[in-house]
Structure 1
């Protein structure tokens, strides 16, 4: 116990509360104050543990402050003397200073956290597809200050790891994904993440190896002692899970880390919604483009077949030599109607395009010779690939030669 003759209590390191005090300094002050409080207030339970995180420090400091108020009232009732009362009053002031330092540190850490989350989300807004978001998300989580991160999707009540990131070991990232995807876990009461999904609230698991409801394979692969997790919500549904551990500054995770990951998850959910909407619009645009190309093709063929007969003889249009052009109705008919091979399903125009492809011509060259647009040629190529069952132009040409050989041998 402190010397009762003069009521002196040793000065605290960094207790002046400078604005640039680090979190380490604040925790050192808190540890010292709690040790002194346990002696002065004769409350052994107030003594700080060997390792102290900000959340536990705040809880212990609040308890110390309550104990000081109780002790001071007791001393005054018992009229124990001014020395003892002065000691407790000084202790109260030091507890207040330590709590103020912790609050200031927490405020600055939250400000820095918000800035990092905003930066990460800003980078992810540049993604064009959901697949790209899924791939990049773990690395952006790591940039928040975590050494390892995992992105998982929730599908049919299963937890399936999709992408991971490790600052120190790229192989570990692959191992995490393998452990979480080779045998997907059913989201039942056996997993604590099920509660997270049900309540849509983030998790902080402090003693992961001993927790009865953690993912055993992931815990074994990572060797993690504590982790934070948050649900990814899009369009009102939990579509994924985010996990992270090992804050690079503290070596563990705490409540601030949990809230930081949750804040990131909320922002990512909004980006996912926007990206899904963008992909749907892009798909619709492509469908409309394909449809417009088909219509444009029909108009081109109609104009080419009928415009010449509407112009007076000797006009510039007649002066330009043109290849013979079939009418739209004939162009739409099969070129080989009696053919039992896929060639029999091709229209005359599609056969023309296929022959040009067989000659090694590009879309622009084919368009110039057929007096149609590049988009029209692309539309014909798409249709003939589908009819021939080919996946690319080279395969279509190969099938063309094969089927033509069959016709010659028949």
Structure 2
């Protein structure tokens, strides 16, 4: 502009103003989009906050993810070792949940493998064969959900995500993992207290007390004894015990607690050792409360 004549300088100045106006307009659009996404995240988080169970929490999460992305189809799956086990499918089109795809292994180099390795949102143009009927053929995105510091679930949506929407899904799944931890902790506290009371009642009905011992003292003694049963166990182990006592399989326990089957097996081994029993049948026979 310093060497241009007046006409050329005026033209360049107009072009510069036009570029600045376009930049400002783009910035304004991006700012508005980010504000909209932030509001969507806030609404989604609010809907998760009062979920009473992990199943209700996951159902609500699928609905909010469909709104946030936006996506037509969402599939939420458990991660069990190197295997993906779909547990919830959600669609805005059908009015009812579409059928779940079959479980499948994590293939080397797949989008699932990349999402698990990076613990971040992954988008691909081609769809995974196992989810073809659910996600369609327009591409997809995957986001991991970490619970207790371990990736326990994967979210599939039927649209590739880049930029703000991809980041928003990552933020939302972090919140979802925290909510699953909270629901699990609350459930474990409730069930631990229930197990203490049931065990105390069982022992109290099986043992005759000295007539000189007051009922209150006897109840306190056996409540303390029942609590002593649980003292060696962690909160997670206590929750596993509760489910084992119902006869639940390792796979069912993993699905309920949103952990892997291998993790359940490790918990069961430690529980058997701590409680001095040799197998699950002996544990059930010895500690399951009688009606």
* TM-score, length-scaled by structure 2: 0.64
Q: Which residue of 2 aligns with 1:148?
A: 73
Is this contact kept in 2: 1:229–1:258, CA < 8 A? Answer: no
Q: Which residue of 2 aligns with 1:83?
A: 7
- Cα RMSD for the two superposed structures: 2.8
The higher-RCO structure (CA 8 Å, 6+ apart) is 2
Alignment of structure 1 residues 209-220 onto 2, 5 Å: 209=126, 214-220=127-133
Partners in 2 of 1:222 and 1:188 — Cα distance? 18
Aligned pairs, number = 215
Q: Which residue of 1 aligns with 2:27?
A: 103
**Alignment CA distance shift 1:151-1:302 (3 Å):** same
Question: How far apart are residue 185 of structure 1 and its match?
Answer: 2.6
Question: How far apart are residue 95 of structure 1 and its match?
Answer: 1.7
**Alignment CA distance shift 1:235-1:91 (3 Å):** same
Partners in 1 of 2:67 and 2:84 — Cα distance? 24
**Alignment CA distance shift 1:204-1:92 (3 Å):** farther
Tell me, what secondary structure is at the counterpart of 1:124? helix
Q: Which residue of 1 aligns with 2:151?
A: 238
**Alignment CA distance shift 1:236-1:89 (3 Å):** same
Q: Which residue of 1 aligns with 2:90?
A: 165
Is this contact kept in 2: 1:150–1:164, CA < 8 A? Answer: yes
Counterpart of 2:105 (choices 174, 179, 186) is 186
Tell me, what secondary structure is at the counterpart of 1:279? helix
Is this contact kept in 2: 1:228–1:257, CA < 8 A? Answer: no
Partners in 2 of 1:138 and 1:286 — Cα distance? 31
Partners in 1 of 2:18 and 2:141 — Cα distance? 33
Instruction: Show structure 2 runs of 5+ residues with no match.
Output: 213-283
Tell me, what secondary structure is at the counterpart of 1:92? helix
Structure 1 runs of 4+ off > 6 angstroms?
none
Tell me, what secondary structure is at the counterpart of 1:101? helix
Tell me, what secondary structure is at the counterpart of 1:154? strand
Partners in 2 of 1:253 and 1:98 — Cα distance? 25
Partners in 1 of 2:14 and 2:25 — Cα distance? 17
Which of the pair has more CA radius of gyration? 1
**Alignment CA distance shift 1:188-1:106 (3 Å):** same
